[in-house]
A and B are shown apart, each in its own frame.
Chain A
Amino acid sequence: MSALAVSQLNASHGQLQAVHSVSLQLHSGKTLFLLGANGAGKTTLLRSIAGDHASDCSTVLLNGEDISQLPAHRRARAGLALVPEGRRLFPQMSVRENLALGRCTGRAGNWDIDAVYAAFPNLVKLDNAAAGKLSGGEQQAVAIGRALMGNPAVLMLDEVSLGLSPAAVELAYQTLETLRDSGLALLVVEQDVARALRSADQLMVLCEGRSALHTTPDDTDTDKLIAACFGQPLEHAG
């Protein structure tokens, strides 16, 4: 059974349909990377799965349970976490207070503040600092840590490496690999195609709201992925 199964998801911004019947499956201990140009519908897809954006005619199954009728906070309590684009921390609250808010899902599990600090040692000395004062990489670590505090089964991350230094990106990806190996199912939106190709178990390319390519790293390469991002699927070899 897949950890997350989305079928035929449609989502619109007013009259503009941003996501056209996208289906995907996500398994525990695996990472699915979602690629695509700006405006391809990646963020809308993630927000729709999380219940933060209204979608229609779709089924979202989390560990086999239909959560498509639930509001966002009930989906979070069911074990679906989204680290939103731009991190969206509460800037006046301290790092510890931001992390503690992640516990609002009320889910049992191994994650607590000490475990987050063990995973992100750079946060220990910032415990009491206001979240708004941190660097981009530190904020991303807090945002990921906050999502983990809710002990999710599926973790979705929007634009993980946007605005981060190369060192911070490296740290974030190391952590994601650890999380994947611990059995979490990951759905990651990434602009850096080469990076996605190295870390993914599966890849999906969105183009103009449609699934343009759904593949594995062994069956594709950077050129094919980039071409799909811009709506020009290369002819299959031969």
Chain B
Amino acid sequence: MSYQIINAILLGGYYAVLAAGLAFMYSVMHIINLAHGAFIVVAAYGLWLLGNQFQLALPMAIGFMLVAMFVLGLILHRGILARASEGGELLPLLATFGLSIILDNLLFQSFGADNYSLAPLVGDLSWASYELPGNLFIGKLSVFTLIAALLMIALLDGMLRYTNLGHRIQATSQDRATAALLGIDTARTAAIATGIALATGVIAATALGLRSTWGPYSGSTQLLFAFEAVVIGGTGSLWRVLIGAMVLALAQSLAAMLHTQGFLIGGHLAFLAAVFIRLRSQNFSVRSLFTGATTS
């Protein structure tokens, strides 16, 4: 039992890595980026190309992709999100949904249906493990992923709270007109926030590529888990994503113990429970799905 709980917590770390960018994007831009999963997969292919075609070490490849995805985020905001946001709350949702389909199929065109993995780039890290007292073994990679999740959320949260850029992003998010009156270039600030959200996808892509294989259509699965984690956790603070991810992973693990096919169902039930609690406590809107019940 304790083994299952430890593994669920480690799995929660992985979901938190997936979800951090999605939650950041929603909390500062009020945009639900349905292409977040597809962008994670794009970053994974980028890491694979850099590692295998250009023989870069994985940390170098990660550094390179962080910059590339940040720039892609700037372009995404300028090209699509800024325009779509003018059309209301639902238009960015549809635009990013369409974008995810385009990305999925572009990846299929370019890389085919083969499955890829980053595991060969890091020697035996993918299956190495730590031994805990009581003859428990836990994967090193899962531990690193959980640490990455904690670091990522701490960095994003600290950036929002304590840096000038974070204050500009908050001001732009809360009251765009007033931010502009203070001399803040709100379009540029929002583009930077989008770039940061996409750059977090590189860490998610690393975790995805090291722990499993992926194909061109893997984005939607990653998005689903990220989305469920964000909705269960609610927004308000990025740390709630971590709670949501843990609840999701625990629900899945618990259901898997009850029935061998229960893993996904358990997660979906936790997600639905969170949705119903939110809908009961607030008038229905797309936004109420995400807003924490305590903040009403």
Contacts and interface: CB of A to CB of B under 8 A. Distances in A.
A76 B183 contact: yes
A133 interface: no
Classify chain B: how many residues form its interface, as a range: 10 to 19
Contacts of A92: 170, 174
A77 B182 CA distance: 8
A177 interface: no
Given A73-B185, A73-B186, A88-B175, A93 B180 contact: no
B167 interface: yes
Interface in B148-179: 164, 167-168, 170-171, 174-175, 177-179
B254 interface: no
A100 B168 CA distance: 10
A106 interface: yes
Contact of B183 (A73, A97, A100): A73
Contacts of A84: 177-178, 181
A118 interface: no
A150 interface: yes
B184 interface: yes
Interface in A100-137: 100-102, 104-106
A105 B167 CA distance: 14
Contacts of B178: 84, 88, 90
A124 to B, nearest CB: 21
Contacts of A100: 164, 167
Contacts of A97: 167
A93 B175 CA distance: 13
B177 A93 contact: no
Contacts of B167: 93, 97, 100-101
Nearest to A71: B180
Contacts of B168: 101, 104
A40 B167 CA distance: 35
B170 A146 contact: no
Given A88-B175, A97-B167, A101-B168, A146 B182 contact: yes
A72 B177 contact: yes
What DSSP secondary structure best describes chain B's contact surface? helix
A76 B182 contact: yes
A71 B179 CA distance: 12
Given A72-B177, A88-B175, A90-B175, A102 B182 contact: yes
A50 interface: yes
A201 interface: no
B180 A52 contact: yes
A105 B183 contact: yes
B78 to A, nearest CB: 15
Contact of A52 (B164, B171, B177, B183): B177
A101 B175 contact: no
Interface in A25-69: 50-52
A101 B167 CA distance: 7
Residue of A50, A97, A104, A147 with most partner-chain B CB within 10 A: A104
Contacts of B185: 73
B180 A105 contact: no
Contacts of B183: 73, 76-77, 104-106, 150
A76 B181 contact: yes
A14 B242 CA distance: 45
A7 B171 CA distance: 32
A141 interface: no
A71 B185 CA distance: 9
Contacts of B171: 90, 93, 101
A106 B182 CA distance: 10
A53 to B, nearest CB: 9
A104 B184 contact: yes
Given A88-B175, A90-B171, A90-B175, A101 B182 contact: yes
A81 B180 CA distance: 10
25 contacts: A51-B180, A52-B181, A72-B180, A72-B181, A73-B182, A73-B183, A73-B184, A73-B185, A73-B186, A76-B180, A76-B182, A76-B183, A81-B181, A82-B181, A90-B171, A90-B174, A93-B167, A93-B170, A100-B164, A100-B167, A101-B179, A101-B184, A104-B182, A105-B183, A147-B182
Given A81-B181, A90-B174, A104-B182, 20 more contacts: A50-B181, A51-B180, A52-B181, A71-B180, A73-B182, A76-B181, A76-B183, A82-B181, A84-B177, A84-B178, A90-B171, A90-B175, A92-B174, A93-B171, A100-B167, A101-B168, A102-B182, A104-B184, A146-B182, A150-B182
